[in-house]
Structure 1
């Protein structure tokens, strides 16, 4: 099979373009990839992690094809693919995993040992994650297809729910993982830092898990409005009021049971000085407002190299955490990427049986491939939307 292909390509800080690309092949470098498939991309989403690269806050090289949130239709299978068929509609975990190494066998598919020569773990279209071609394209190759892909059981039902199901590749499991690792459960009080798409997905996940009160903090009024639209309490962190005081006004208590950092390393100080970047401020706030013995989930991205950081220490991932406070309060911290395969089947079921309206929670907006550069610009401007790219007009049809 040989056809045209186009995709979103990082050109340098602040600049992405839609360019013609080679049609994907069932190959890894100079060897064949008979365990892989080629997908016609039905939906592919713009992620906040992509935005870090596009802002120039990573060492991503120009020419990188972006995109790690992929849902597609199988159009070609390698010889060794047994359980996925041409015509299947599938969700692609952003983690690339071999299914064979020790970590994969333990369920830690986010730190597979065989798919990235530089470090454990790989992802499509992302800096330092193995050099895999991204999926903000018309067609993409997916390796280890039998292991990685989540097949939707009914095509028509899947297409009817595609705006929700597209979020299974990353942000819905990532937000859910943040809540699970923070210990969210029935009756919990939960603080979510950040009302971007991952924070909103975490807030919706906390409600799915039975939290009694979900509080979302941000500095963007539109994003806080979006959090309130599905029942969350909010903290406007542009105020100078100490966070424990704001929590007490809502809960009658100054601490929460569980906390989730959905901001990451581009965090800013709260209060009148909110334009000042301070990458450890969310982590320190979490220790301040989480009860003794509580847990903190950290799905927000932290990097080893940040060329755009304001301090020399932060440029190398060294942050000024009040770790002694976390130690004194016996906090548990859980970091790292989400192992999507641990959750995506259950969350698919929650969508298909209408236990959650995740697309509404994160305010999905569908755009064309040619509109992707504007989508990146709007997202960088702070709009309260999750941009979903429809490369072939499949959703519009």
Structure 2
């Protein structure tokens, strides 16, 4: 019975809406068989999606820049209302509105016990770590849908304490599933603190979230670099300095003009493997941002790298890059004693505290990233606009709960 609409990858540059079966309280067969565990999931819940967002990571798949197969379901930024619970779910009830970390975590393995929920060992037979609706991440159905199954619910769900208050701030709270914690993680692991000077590469939603988070952490100056004028204007709208790299100017010179010195205390890569060189018509050069942030960061700095890097990129510029091997100047980072922090953000380390800031009216992340609501049926329109560089974070509203 087809009772659930879901967004799927339909080929390079295309997404489609498909009708699939209403979710069951079961984990994917490939996960169960690959790990030798039961498919039945009494620890799970079914959510009715309140909001689900389009992410730059989704866009990599839709551009054909991963090994995602046609038909791959999409969506890992999930906020929803519980409509069904398994018998082993103890601490949630039907009607609760919750944020879902994009990392799927069992809450029982060594990595989960260490707080490293982005690399859970019990949710993906192929590698450590899993996510909803993403290639090579375990086969979990995506959340750009009407309904979705969430496993290990007692561990994974972050319940909003008051339903009405949550719905009033839902455009801020929807960012807790990924980009707000991810941006915060990038800034935090870069060592941003009171008075820091910070460079953030990329003014997409994650970059904007990182810049906003750097301000929350007490940065004195946050410089955001990009080649998209609208996205740079969005960064400037909440007090960031901007580095317009479309002109081909030296990033070191831009930083010097702003700070009076050529280096920053901390830097964040919010671009990832589809980076381009400097200049309006610059070609793709996937190591550009990593080399930039090493170049403009002081000796001893930490580099937060939430930008996505992959092990399989069929559209890469050369054979080495197709397997994630890019021309990083590691010797420079070594000589400057830099610390590199990579990988999925462990969302649960941050989401509750960031939720408290939102509910206390002390964080307005939706405004910072220019949240824009669309319907599920308009997902393709949102993907197309995002791919063209729209300075917006598209929030899908499958059931009209945001508009209501």
| Bin of the TM-score, shorter chain as denominator length | over 0.9
User: Structure 2 CA distance, aligned partners of 1:77 and 1:241?
Assistant: 56
Structure 2 residue matching 1:284: 3-state secondary structure: helix
**Distance in structure 1 (CA, Å) of the matches to 2:201 and 2:2:** 44
Q: Which residue of 1 aligns with 2:260?
A: 252
Alignment match of 1:60 (pick from 57, 68, 71)? 68
**Once the two structures are superposed, what CA deviation does each residue of 1:113-150 show, in whole Å capped at 9, x if it has no partner?**
00000000000000000010000000000000000000
User: Alpha-carbon deviation of 1:18?
Assistant: 1.1
Q: Secondary structure at the match of 2:384?
A: helix
Aligned to 2:134: 126
1:69 aligned residue (77, 82, 87): 77
Q: CA deviation at 1:272?
A: 5.0
Q: For 2:133 and 2:341, how far apart are their aligned partners in 1?
A: 25
Q: Does 1:360 align with 2:359?
A: no
Residue aligning to 2:352: 345
Q: Indicate conservation of the 8 Å contact 2:225/2:232, yes or no.
A: yes
Where structure 1 has 5 or more consecutive residues not aligned to the other structure, the ranges are none
Q: Quick one: distance in 2 between partners of 1:106 and 1:89?
A: 27
Partners of 2:398 and 2:348 lie apart in 1 by 25
1:243 to 240, 244, 251: 251
1:332 alignment counterpart: 339
Which one is further off, 239-248 or 353-362? 239-248
TM-aligned CA deviation for residue 40 of structure 1: 0.3
**Match for 1:227 among 235, 248, 252?**
235
CA distance in 1, matches of 2:208, 2:347: 17
Shift of 1:354: 1.3
Residue 27, structure 1, aligned to residue 26, structure 2: yes
Equivalent residue for 1:373?
380
Deviations 1:301-333 (CA, angstroms, capped at 9, x unpaired): 000010000111100100111111111111110
2:328 counterpart of 1:321: yes
| 3-state SS in 2 of match to 1:42 | strand
- The one of 279, 302, 308 equivalent to 2:309 is 302
Q: Is residue 2:18 matched to residue 1:9?
A: no
Equivalent in 183, 192, 198 of residue 190 of structure 1: 198
The yes-or-no answer on 1:93 pairing with 2:101 is: yes
For residue 312 of structure 1, give the secondary structure of its aligned residue in structure 2. coil
Note the C-alpha offset of 1:7.
Answer: 1.1
Unaligned runs of 5+ in 2: 30-37
2:6–2:144 CA contact under 8 A, matched in 1: yes
CA displacement at 1:92 relative to structure 2: 0.3
Higher deviation after alignment, 109-118 or 9-18: 9-18
Deviation by residue 1:193-225 (Cα, 9 ceiling, x = unmatched):
000000000000000000000000000000000
Tell me the distance in 1 between the aligned counterparts of 2:281 and 2:169. 42
Q: TM-score, normalised by structure 1?
A: 0.98
Measured in 1, the distance between the counterparts of 2:53 and 2:305 equals 21
CA distance in 2, matches of 1:158, 1:204: 21
Residue correspondences, number:
395
1:15-72 CA-to-partner distances (Å, cap 9, x unmatched) read 1111211100001237311000000000000000000000000000111110000000
1:253-307 deviation digits (Å, cap 9, x = unpaired)? 1000000000000000012552x00000100011110000111000000000100
DSSP 3-state at the match of 1:256: coil
After superposition, where does 1:23-172 map in structure 2 within 5 Å? 23-28=22-27, 29=29, 31-172=39-180
CA apart distance, 1:240 = 2.3
| 2:222 aligned with 1:214 | yes
Deviations 1:367-390 (A, max 9, x none): 000000010000000000000000
RMSD: 0.9
The CA distance in 2 between the partners of 1:11 and 1:236, in whole Å, is 34
